[in-house]
Chains A and B, each alone.
Chain A
Amino acid sequence: MAWLALAGCREAGSGPAGTGPAAARARGAAPAPADVGSDCADVGAARACWSEGSPGSVLGVVAVPRPPPPHGAPGDWRCRGAGAERTCAPAAESAGPFECAGDRCTQRFPRLPDDHEWECADVDGVVICRSWSAGAGFVPGRPDSGYRCGAVRGEPEERVCVDFAPDRPPGEPWDCSFGNEPGTPSRTCVRGGREPLGRRCGSACPFGAVCAGDRCLPLAARPDCWTDRDCAPGARCAFATCREPPR
């Protein structure tokens, strides 16, 4: 009898119903005390902070423990913020469910950065999206807080965003991809492939990521490209950020 076992003190004067500390915890306050600095994000099953010069950083990337979710599985939650400010909300509140048949799962209404029109790609377990038009005829809402966005180089009207911890069906590994039929972005994951970014380093990490704390973690994300052509000659677009190739 789970709730019968609960006992505690009602905190007098804790504010309106549902807004007290207990409620705040329930709504997903999930502090990350090991964070370094204020620029951190979940990356797959891992967590990274970007803090140049911090002890233990590799090219400015620090691997930190990813705190457990308020309850349930990590994938059930969508978290943002760093340190004591980190909060989580149920992922199901803002995106469609995965519908699975055998080894194939489809998400009819995948998470997108905001109410613009987007085309997206799933690269190494990271979702990268490019906006190609504002959405017309409705009241726009708050952007999804898990995406990091910026303007494409030389195209200030065009935005590109990256999500290092996108929705995935439970139980890795999955190989996910976006279908970008106009107006109908959907996401399909098939069983197989390798774990998403944030995985253990193994033999090597992909271009644009480094091995920190035995995790493949992305270099600092300042989204500014969709393809290599958006970058300066010789540079390459990796995880939506132009980067100089290793010499």
Chain B
Amino acid sequence: MTRIRRLGALSVALGVAACAAREPAPVAEARLVVAAPIEGDVALDELKWTPPGAARIVRAGREVELAVRPAAAPGGLVLGAPGACPRRWTGTESAAEERVRLVPAFGVRGGDLAQLGYGAPFELRLVPGCDEARAAHVTWRVTSGATIDLTAAEDGHVARGRLPDAEAAGLRAPPWGLAPISPRSRGEITLEASWELEGVPSRRTVRVAAAARASGLPSVAVGQRLWLAGAGWRVQDRPPRAAGGVAAAGSWSALVPDERGRWTLVDASGRALSIVVGRHAETPLDCGRSECHHDVASAATGTRMATTFHDLLGRLRPSEPACALGCHAVGEPGLADGGFAHVLASLGAPPRFETGPAAWDALPRPLRRLGGVGCTACHGPGAIPEPSASWAILRADVCAVCHDAPPRYTHVEGWARSKMATADRDPATREPACRGCHGTAGYLARITGAPERELPPGIATGIACAACHAPHGAHAGELIRDVASPTGGPAITDAASRLCASCHSDPSPGGPRASAATLVHGAAPGATPPHAAVPGGCLGCHGDGDAATTTARGHGHAFAVDRSRCATRCHVGAPPLDDRGALARRARELYRSLGGEALAEGTPPHARRRAGAPSTRALEAVRLVLEDPAAWAHNAPYARALLEGARPR
């Protein structure tokens, strides 16, 4: 098969002009465009040449345009860049070839590097691009990921190691079915090969991973190895021409669907799992048809999810696909999944990824559709998802495909440590009366009025990302879902705090019971709420913390308060009085004496309150204090005033 490449050269300027007789003798220059392939770690921005005075850079970007003075390089120009084979340009090429494409010093072979398998041995073989590379000595090191034994052979042209097993990689088995796999649990290891060619030190980064990332949704890419919890899985039905089958992989089962379409798997008990398989580039993006998700699609186009690649274009280094393309564009680099990296490699002339307003328009249409976190990035490349994806899309696992990549992206890791993550772990909290604040589906149904998505029995999602973040638009910055201030309470200007207050606020009949926001905004007679004006609202203490001093994104998603900051920021020299125990104890005693239920320490009244239990103004006041385990910190004066007012006289 031959590929007919069309000339992609743009900047071949032949700059020949007649000289006026009175002008001094011109300096003859020729233009030479130096390019490098997308892959290969060729550092074109460090392009050098000899003789040094024979050329100068006219334009630099994805390509470098040189103005060459032939007279200063009678023997030709030797071009060199880190990562590339040296190239002697003798000027013998025809005029149509005033374009040099540097060849990477080494290619890499090693199989399906993006999904080699948990605990799998791997062998990376460097393929020299020139004689100089063939003679070079290469050294290897692991720059990130798990600690592994790495051995080199054949003068460093071969590296061998073994990937971490599933347990060591942190892969958690789901209750059933497809395993979600995040950057953290995919067992990725970054290796660096170093060598020197003609005095130019070079490095090449190679990433190997045990598994491709997966959201756990039953909408997956062709060629992606799926990891199934449990044993006994088999393919019951597959598309025509498909041949993929389930293979045992330790305590897991694995399947590589090799054709688009619907697959049905069954486990040992006969329970069926239906998945749709597709390729991102082949999935119609007609989600916004008027009879479908018109409003959602329109709003989504302007969100940071959809524009992330557009906004970063020119600052991304496409030669680092795992970082640049893995989370700012659709698809998994390294897979033939129709994702951005795959299509990029399929196109004949790689785009230039330049800066400026025209850069986006200059991208080929197939790449624009995949540049950004588009529909299929989260919903999967199967055109029409399985009905079971309707609830599964609410899981944090979907966001974890990008946002669980510590130490840089800690959103999901932090959230998993918070009480939000386990808000519906207790089956009792999955009852209809509780789901409005204990589960994502119930919460969204409550605040949006949309029908509640039904979860399978035994499934808990917690209050996950989608409860607070609206990836499709209608948000108040940072994808924070825009909700109203609680009825009857103070108008809260901060959008994130309004979200917190939508559950952590004054009890309303049949509604949420937690009261932290009520306490924060309540005022004791003659006093000012001490924390009502904290910059950033709830997140001022429960959120980002020292985000300004860390590069981690998502820092603070554990919503924990770093109390040391209280003393350094506001309560300087006078640490706040901690009467947590005394205040709560007094409240519980008072509650009991007023006819309320006996409460164990840490148990909020709404978890124990019986139907028909007495309710008086005094009891309600005490409940407000008891419902907020941090009443002592949020607003101790107000809490004390509430208790004092409730005391029998």
Residues of A within 8 A of B (CB): 1-4, 6-11, 17-18, 22-23, 25-28, 71-72, 75-76, 89-101, 105, 108-109, 111-112, 114-115, 117, 132-142, 144, 169-170, 181-184
> Between A and B, how many residue pairs show CB distances below 8 Å?
226
Q: Which residues of chain A have C-beta atoms less than 8 A from B346's C-beta?
A: 96, 108-109
Interface membership of B307, Cβ < 8 A: yes
Query: Which of B15, B307, B369 sits near A8, CB closer than 8 Å?
Result: B15
9 closest Cβ pairs, A-B complex: A97-B348, A3-B30, A133-B286, A136-B297, A92-B6, A183-B284, A142-B361, A137-B374, A92-B349
Considering residues A26, A100, A169, which has the most beta carbons from chain B within 10 angstroms of its beta carbon?
A26
Q: Which of B371-418 contact A (CB under 8 A)?
A: 371-372, 374-376, 383
> What residues on B are CB-neighbors of A93 within 8 Å?
8, 10, 349, 351, 362, 364
Supplied contacts A8-B28, A18-B13, A140-B368, 12 more A-B pairs, CB within 8 Å: A3-B95, A8-B15, A10-B26, A18-B58, A26-B14, A75-B6, A92-B349, A94-B364, A97-B347, A97-B348, A135-B369, A139-B301
Task: Name the B residues within 8 Å of A100 (CB-CB).
Answer: 1-4
Determine whether the beta carbon of A97 is less than 8 Å from that of B4: yes
What's the nearest-Cβ distance from chain A to residue B331, in Å? 13
Q: Which residues of A contact B343 (CB under 8 A)?
A: 109
> In the complex, which residue of chain A has the Cβ closest to the Cβ of B303?
A137
Chain A residues with CB under 8 A of B364: 93-96, 109
Q: Which residues of A contact B613 (CB under 8 A)?
A: none
Distance of A136 Cα from B305 Cα, bound (Å): 12
Q: Which residue of B lies closest to A99 (CB)?
A: B3
Binds A, one of B85-93, B432-440, B572-580: B85-93
Shortest Cβ distance from B11 into A: residue: A26
* C-alpha spacing A76/B4, complex, angstroms: 10
How distant is the Cα of A25 from the Cα of B19 in the complex, in angstroms?
18
Q: What residue of chain A has the Cβ atom nearest to residue B77's Cβ?
A: A3
Q: Tell me, in angstroms, the Cα distance from A71 to B11 when the chains sit together.
A: 12
Asked if B288 is at the interface (CB within 8 A of a chain A CB), the reply is yes
Contact present for B16 and A17 (CB under 8 Å): no
Q: Is the CB of A92 within 8 A of B293?
A: no
Q: Contact: B58 with A6, CB < 8 Å?
A: no
Contact B23 A9 (CB under 8 A): yes
- List residues of chain A with CB within 8 A of the CB of B16: 6-8
- What residues of chain A lie closer than 8 Å to B375, measured between beta carbons? 136-137
For B370, give the chain A residue with the smallest CB separation: A138
B300 to chain A, nearest CB (A): 5
B19 touches A105 (CB 8 A): no
B12 partner, pick from A26, A115, A142, beta carbons under 8 A: A26
CA distance A184 to B287 in the complex (A): 15
B283 contacts the other chain (CB 8 A): yes
Chain B residues with CB below 8 A from A133, complex form: 284-286, 288-289
Chain B 345-368, CB within 8 Å of chain A: the 1/0 string? Answer: 011110100000000111111101
The answer for the CA separation of A89 and B6 in the assembled complex, in Å, is 11
Q: How far is the CA of A241 from the CA of B354 in the complex (A)?
A: 38
Is the Cβ of B369 less than 8 Å from the Cβ of A115?
A: yes
The binding surface of chain B is classed by DSSP as loop
In the complex, A10 Cα to B15 Cα: how many Å? 8
Q: Which residues of A contact B363 (CB under 8 A)?
A: 141
B352 to chain A: closest residue by CB: A93
Tell me if B288 and A134 are in contact (CB < 8 A): yes
Interface contact B360-A141, CB-CB below 8 Å: yes
* Residues from chain B with Cβ under 8 Å of A137 in the complex: 285, 287, 297, 300-301, 305-306, 372, 374-376
A217–B65 Cα distance when bound, in Å, is 40
Q: What are 30 A-B contacts defined by CB distance under 8 Å?
A: A3-B32, A3-B70, A6-B29, A8-B19, A10-B29, A17-B65, A18-B59, A18-B65, A25-B14, A27-B10, A71-B12, A93-B351, A98-B4, A99-B2, A100-B3, A108-B346, A109-B281, A109-B364, A115-B365, A133-B289, A135-B288, A135-B369, A137-B306, A138-B369, A139-B306, A139-B310, A140-B301, A142-B361, A181-B282, A184-B282
> Is B28 in contact with A23, judged by CB distance below 8 angstroms?
no
Please give, as numbers and ranges, the residues of chain A lying within 8 Å of B70 by CB-CB distance: 1, 3-4, 6
Q: Whole-angstrom distance from the CB of B72 to the nearest CB of chain A?
A: 11
Query: Which residues from B are CB-within-8-Å of A95?
Result: 364-365
Contacting residue for B4 out of A90, A112, A136, A169, CB 8 A = A169
Cα–Cα distance between A218 and B234 once the two chains are bound (Å): 58
What per-residue 1/0 map shows which CB atoms of B199-226 lie under 8 Å from chain A?
A: 0000000000000000000000000000
**A42 to B: closest C-beta gap in Å:** 16
| Complex contact A117–B94 (CB within 8 A) | no
Looking at the assembled complex, report how far the CB atom of A95 sits from the nearest CB atom of chain B, in whole angstroms: 7
By the criterion CB–CB under 8 Å, are B59 and A117 in contact? no
Whether A3 pairs with B365 at a CB distance below 8 angstroms is no
**Does residue B173 face the partner (Cβ distance < 8 Å to A)?**
no
A247 to B239, CA, bound (A): 53
Are B348 and A10 within 8 A (Cβ)? no
- Known A-B contacts A93-B8, A96-B347, A141-B360; the reply to A136 vs B286 at CB < 8 A is yes
Kindly state the separation between the CA atoms of A7 and B92 in the bound complex, as whole angstroms. Answer: 16
A11 contacts which chain B residues (CB < 8 A)?
Answer: 17
Contacts of B371 in A (CB 8 A): 138-139
By a CB distance below 8 angstroms, the chain B residues around A115 are 365, 368-369
Of the residues A26, A89, A139, A182, contact of B368 by C-beta under 8 Å: A139
Q: How far is the CA of A197 from the CA of B346 in the complex (A)?
A: 30
For the complex, is B241 an interface residue (Cβ under 8 Å from A)? no
Residue B7 is within 8 A (CB to CB) of chain A in the complex = yes
- Is B271 part of the binding interface, using a Cβ–Cβ cutoff of 8 Å? no
- Whether the Cβ atoms of A6 and B2 lie closer than 8 Å is no
Smallest beta-carbon distance A143→chain B, Å: 9
Contact B282 A25 (CB under 8 A): no
Which A residues are CB-close (under 8 A) to B2? Answer: 99-101
Shortest beta-carbon distance from B377 to chain A in Å: 8
Are A1 and B287 neighbours in the complex by a CB distance under 8 Å? Answer: no
Known: A3-B32, A10-B15, A22-B14. A96 touches B348 (CB 8 A): yes
Q: Kindly state the separation between the CA atoms of A112 and B10 in the bound complex, as whole angstroms.
A: 22
Query: A111 CA to B365 CA in the complex, in Å?
Result: 8
Task: Provide the residues of chain B in CB contact with A141, threshold 8 Å.
Answer: 360-361, 363, 365, 368
Residue in contact with B7 in the complex, picked from A6, A71, A135, CB distance below 8 Å: A71
Most buried by B among A6, A27, A76, A170: A6
- Give Cα A109–Cα B351 distance, bound, in whole angstroms: 14
| Bound Cα distance A8, B25 (Å) | 9
Q: Does B108 contact A (CB under 8 A)?
A: no
Q: A8-B17, A8-B28, A93-B349 are in contact. Are A135 and B285 (CB under 8 A)?
A: yes
Complex CA–CA separation, A96 to B8 (angstroms)? 12
Assess A72 versus B361: contact at CB under 8 Å? Given A8-B17, A9-B18, A97-B348: no
Question: B28's closest neighbor in chain A, by CB?
Answer: A7
A105 to B158, CA, bound (A): 38
Alpha-carbon distance A105/B287, docked complex (angstroms): 31
Residues of A within 8 A of B58 (CB): 17-18
Scan residues 87-112 of chain B and give those whose CB is less than 8 A from a CB of chain A. Answer: 90-98
> Do A23 and B372 touch (CB < 8 A)?
no
Given contacts A6-B30, A8-B17, A141-B361, contact A90 B8 (CB under 8 A): yes
The chain A residue with its CB closest to the CB of B33 is A26
Q: Does B35 contact A (CB under 8 A)?
A: no
From A98, A138, A142, B372 is in contact (CB under 8 Å) with: A138
Residues of chain A lying within 8 A (CB to CB) of residue B95: 2-3, 71
A9: chain B residues at CB < 8 Å are 17-19, 23, 26
B27: Cβ under 8 A from any A Cβ: yes
CB–CB A18/B4 < 8 A: no
